[in-house]
Amino acid sequence: MSAIDDVFARCAGEGRAAFIPFLMAGDPDLEATATFLDALAAGGADIIELGVPFSDPIADGPTNQRATVRALAAGTKLSNILELVARHRDRLGVPIVLFTYFNPVHARGIEHFAEQAASSGVDGVLCVDVPPEEGERELVPCLREHGVDSIFLLAPTSTRDRVSRVARISSGFVYYVSRTGVTGERTALASDLVRDVKRLRRKLDQPLAVGFGISSPAQVAAVGEVADGVVVGSALVRLVEENLSAGRGELATLLENRVHELSAPLHRGAERKRA
């Protein structure tokens, strides 16, 4: 079992979904990101998604796009991010998933990237713009050879063939996009989300994590009732953006408190089930 498998097994044993926060690496700089990783883990993150900034982030909404601009302006590169993970992964004790576009991976070379990701302590990779038909040719085998989980996206528009293919080649977990469109906070969850998640879980052997548009404790609680994992990204990226003038330590405390607030409903729900 991988470290990601272990997390989902532990959370399932506790009767709750895993909480998975996302931040953009290098926003506002990599030294701050290192501090923020500690804050996410201390606040209750079970797995951390770390975004790799890319100049054309087609899957990201305005909040994450601005974070990408700040990270690139700070000189953040994939090699720097891998070095950061290598320095902090073991101490954190929390699996790290890289959320990336394919271009930085391709530029480095898929085999070279897989080897470096594994040696740095990366536990999983989600290449957001790589369809499973392409990924299973080279990316998935290379990552698998080095013990790194390959995570793929499904969406409300995914066909049966796409669901079957993702179910066959994914490892760690499958990421379900809760609605069509780009990342970003929403005031309400999609009306058919519960039905869709229940339907998909019957077709998957892997855990199913849900993201895109989840931003409040109430939404986390609702998704956590039907999914194996809950991903919150833009709400945390926005918190960083709105407090860039604060000291690094102060901002880390804000992030820790917010992650604790967002993840708390999952733990309370588990306690009620055990009572």
Catalytic residue among 46, 60, 185, 256: 60
**Distances in whole angstroms, Cα of residue 84 to Cα of each of 29, 39, 73, 99:** 11, 15, 18, 15
Distance CA(142)–CA(213), nearest Å, equals 31
The pair phi, psi for residue 182, each rounded to 5°, is: -100, 175
Distance CA(274)–CA(253), nearest Å, equals 31
- pLDDT of the residue at 144: 97
* Known active-site residue 60: yes
Distance CA(135)–CA(272), nearest Å, equals 41
- pLDDT of the residue at 182: 44
Catalytic residue among 49, 123, 149, 256: 49
The fold of the 3-269 domain, in CATH, is TIM Barrel (3.20.20)
- pLDDT of the residue at 59: 66
Q: How much of the chain is helix, strand and coil, in % rounded to 5?
A: 55, 15, 35
- pLDDT of the residue at 190: 63
- pLDDT of the residue at 184: 42
Nearest to 83 by CA among 52, 126, 49, 109: 52
- pLDDT of the residue at 271: 73
* Known active-site residue 49: yes
- Spatial strand order of the sheet with 18-24 comes to 149-151, 124-127, 96-100, 48-51, 18-24, 229-232, 208-211, 174-177, 153-154
Q: Which pTM does this prediction carry?
A: 0.94
Residue 273 has which token pair? 């089930």
Ranges of each domain in the chain = 3-269
Distance CA(18)–CA(187), nearest Å, equals 22
70 near 25, Cβ under 8 Å? no
Distance CA(37)–CA(222), nearest Å, equals 26
**Across the chain, how many H-helices and E-strands are there?**
13, 9
pLDDT along the chain (275 residues), means of 10: 96 97 97 97 98 82 90 96 95 95 95 97 96 94 97 93 96 86 51 86 95 91 95 95 93 98 90 69
- pLDDT of the residue at 78: 96
Per-residue DSSP letters for 12-39?
HHHTSPEEEEEEETTSS-HHHHHHHHHH
Nearest to 98 by CA among 5, 23, 1: 23
